[in-house]
Structure 1
Amino acid sequence: MTAPQSDADTVIDWCLRLSDGPLSPKERTDLHAWLADDPRRGERLGAALAAWDAVEENADAPEMLALRREALGAVHRAGQRRWLRTPMVSRPVVWAIAAVLLLALSLGSLAWRHGGRDEYRTAIGERRVIALADGSRLSLDADSMVTVAFSPQRRDIVLEKGRARFKVAKDPLRPFAVRSGRNVVIATGTEFSVERLSREVRVALFEGRVAVLRDTPQGQMNEVVRLGGHQLTAERALTPGHEIGLPVSGFVGSVSSSIGNDGWGAEQVSFTSETLVAAAERMNRYAQRRRIIVDPGAADIRVSGVFNNGDVDAFADAIATTFPVDAAVTGEAIRLSRRR
């Protein structure tokens, strides 16, 4: 009799399948069933996929040597596991398999289920990668929250706060819709991010194409953005490597020249002519000690620079030195206000 396969082995199996390319309809059904049995599995598989990518992209980097040694030890301890007996598995792939196993099993649960919807959230300074039931991948930035509801007809995501990046598994018969406020981003198979700020929603496109809609009293309509003195639908204006900003108040958005340093996985964040209020919101996602509060009178000051994630003290000092802004520390907050 064959011993039942452990969750760890199954994580590795799905990681290999998803890395090989799009899943078949039967594989998507099997993955959905496996993930539905335990909400912890989605995050474990997501962590495994993220680690897999890191090992493939940085296999020769010096900092990977210690991980390789630990991974090889796990391989030897595993003995005669089925996935090591496969002739086509090369030694670098074995390192990757062992590494994703180590990382995936070190993580705990992140998912909560509410009325058929899965909820994922991150704390301040925390990032997560989650594998969704259709084979898509969700990367959550710090201090962010999404809810996920999949059905046979639709794949619906709601970004409640923060920022999320989506690598969407192709499924033309089931649209992948991400809602944030009045905005809805729809894709079938592509890679993009959505960020929710107090004044606007930002959509960055890394690959493929998306439709961007807005809820109105007359129904959903195409978002409109300004580009080169003309107004275009967001779908036409948004091309890979670019980002659009959609105002919470108003109806015409804007297109940035490029995504630039989008900060995914980076320890620093850069700003280029960013409003002070938006820059402060991004810094606050990693602020463990104090948070920045921007008074309305200083909110529209445009700032540029590179800062360590969460170093709000250095950020506030730089702003106060460069602009007519006062930085006042009050308890757990730094208030930035225009100098009189």
Structure 2
Amino acid sequence: MSRPDLTLIDGGDGVDQQATRWFVRLRADDASEGDRRAWQQWLEASRDHRDAYARVEALWSSFGDFATSPEIGRRIAGASRAPQAAPVQARTARRRWPAAMAATLALLAVGTFAALRLTAPTEAAYRTAVGERRSVQLDDGSRVDLDAGTHLSVRYDRGGRHIVLEQGRAFFQVAKDAARPFDVVTDAGSVRALGTQFEVSHVAGAADVALYEGSVELRARAAAEAPVQRLGVLVPGQQARLSAGRMQMRATTVAAGARPAWLSGRLVFSDTPLAEAVAEFNRYSTNRVVLADPALGAQRVSGVFRGDDVDGFIGALGEVYGIPEHHTANGTHVLGKSP
């Protein structure tokens, strides 16, 4: 395997360059207590200084295993010696120093380094709050749209791309990489894809999967050392539910090549249990909806609503299904007759 070819880049923001200088200097073998005191004074002089230094630290941390590679160590060592150069040479060295560190931090490499970066272990976690949606570009070019109230973690390594959906719902547009499958894992089972578009929704004790493009393989949840149990393969338009080690095909379908309605703020229910519809609305409002009688959760409802219009949803339940509603003192919507 050939050595990465790191490319220097000149320029950049002056404060960021100063932050880079301090970051390198403090990691040099000959960094002194005077250096640390001077750095502390620089840091406390401006909020911009603190923000710039935090950006450099965050960028460095994002490189994980590559941060300790010998090549990067040599570049940092060379950069950290720059202040010790002769006066005339030092001015030139100092101009090059930020660029050298920028190259080390940016790790712009040719050829083999690009492949190494993609296969190095990387981890990240993403969360959305009530009423918040977020779109995330992953390291391999895949995109994930997170619905409100969603928690997921991402780990990429040489063997694959691993997503754990802890709660909520996400829409995945997967970049093709035949050498590294893309797995989305939930408590109820997992979904494997190579290059496709699909949605996974975490519901109580189950996971709903809808395929919009390509194909995905559904798998049962298994212990770490247990063999994989393949449950089936979906084709575009199909939906299925993973639960208790089984795959159940859904009667409803999605439009192949389309996108989930919630990406545009709409919630679509088709013969959906009321308990699930209520859970959908609770993603979007701090004024929660609850059921006075849990048995009411089995009532089937249909309709298209705006996610931020809980009043319209509750009004429709009263008009179409005769389900009454009242408010509590804290603004909670209670569906069904009071006890």
TM-score bracket relative to the smaller structure: 0.5 to 0.7
How far is the alpha carbon of 1:300 from its aligned partner?
A: 1.2
Contact 1:244 1:255 in 2 (8 A): yes
> Please, what is the CA RMSD of the aligned residues?
3.0
Partner of 1:314: 312
Partner of 1:221: 229
Partner of 1:45: none
Partner of 1:179: 185
Partner of 2:103: none
How far is the alpha carbon of 1:5 from its aligned partner?
A: 6.6
Partner of 2:145: 139
Alignment-mate amino acid for residue 10 of structure 2: A
Partner of 2:251: 256
1:293 and 2:298 matched: no
How far is the alpha carbon of 1:251 from its aligned partner?
A: 3.0
Partner of 2:268: 270
How far is the alpha carbon of 1:329 from its aligned partner?
A: 1.8
Judge which range, 122-131 or 307-316, deviates more.
307-316
1:193 and 2:199 matched: yes
Q: Give the Cα separation in 2 of the matches to 1:270 and 1:177.
A: 27
Contact 1:275 1:302 in 2 (8 A): yes
Alignment-mate amino acid for residue 191 of structure 1: Q
1:37 and 2:89 matched: no
Q: What 5-or-longer segments of structure 1 have no aligned partner?
A: 7-35, 41-114, 224-232
Alignment-mate amino acid for residue 206 of structure 2: E
Contact 1:139 1:164 in 2 (8 A): yes
Partner of 2:112: none
Instruction: Assess, with a 3 A threshold, how the Cα gap between structure 1 residues 5 and 265 changes in structure 2: closer, same or farther.
Output: farther
Contact 2:218 2:247 in 1 (8 A): no
Contact 1:324 1:338 in 2 (8 A): no
Instruction: Assess, with a 3 A threshold, how the Cα gap between structure 1 residues 4 and 325 changes in structure 2: closer, same or farther.
Output: same
* Sequence identity percentage: 34
Based on CA coordinates, which of the two structures has the bigger radius of gyration?
A: 2
Instruction: Assess, with a 3 A threshold, how the Cα gap between structure 1 residues 268 and 39 changes in structure 2: closer, same or farther.
Output: farther
2:236 to 237, 240, 243: 240
3-state SS of paired residue (1:285): coil
Alignment-mate amino acid for residue 236 of structure 2: P
3-state SS of paired residue (1:278): helix
Q: Give the Cα separation in 2 of the matches to 1:274 and 1:220.
A: 31
Instruction: Assess, with a 3 A threshold, how the Cα gap between structure 1 residues 189 and 250 changes in structure 2: closer, same or farther.
Output: closer
How far is the alpha carbon of 1:172 from its aligned partner?
A: 1.1
Q: What 5-or-longer segments of structure 2 have no aligned partner?
A: 1-7, 14-57, 63-120
How far is the alpha carbon of 1:39 from its aligned partner?
A: 8.6
Q: Give the Cα separation in 2 of the matches to 1:208 and 1:221.
A: 21
Instruction: Assess, with a 3 A threshold, how the Cα gap between structure 1 residues 338 and 246 changes in structure 2: closer, same or farther.
Output: farther
Q: Give the Cα separation in 2 of the matches to 1:2 and 1:313.
A: 55
Q: Give the Cα separation in 1 of the matches to 2:186 and 2:294.
A: 24
How far is the alpha carbon of 1:317 from its aligned partner?
A: 2.4
Instruction: Assess, with a 3 A threshold, how the Cα gap between structure 1 residues 146 and 2 changes in structure 2: closer, same or farther.
Output: closer
Instruction: Assess, with a 3 A threshold, how the Cα gap between structure 1 residues 39 and 263 changes in structure 2: closer, same or farther.
Output: farther
How far is the alpha carbon of 1:322 from its aligned partner?
A: 2.2
- Scaled by the length of structure 2, what TM-score is found? 0.59
How far is the alpha carbon of 1:250 from its aligned partner?
A: 7.0
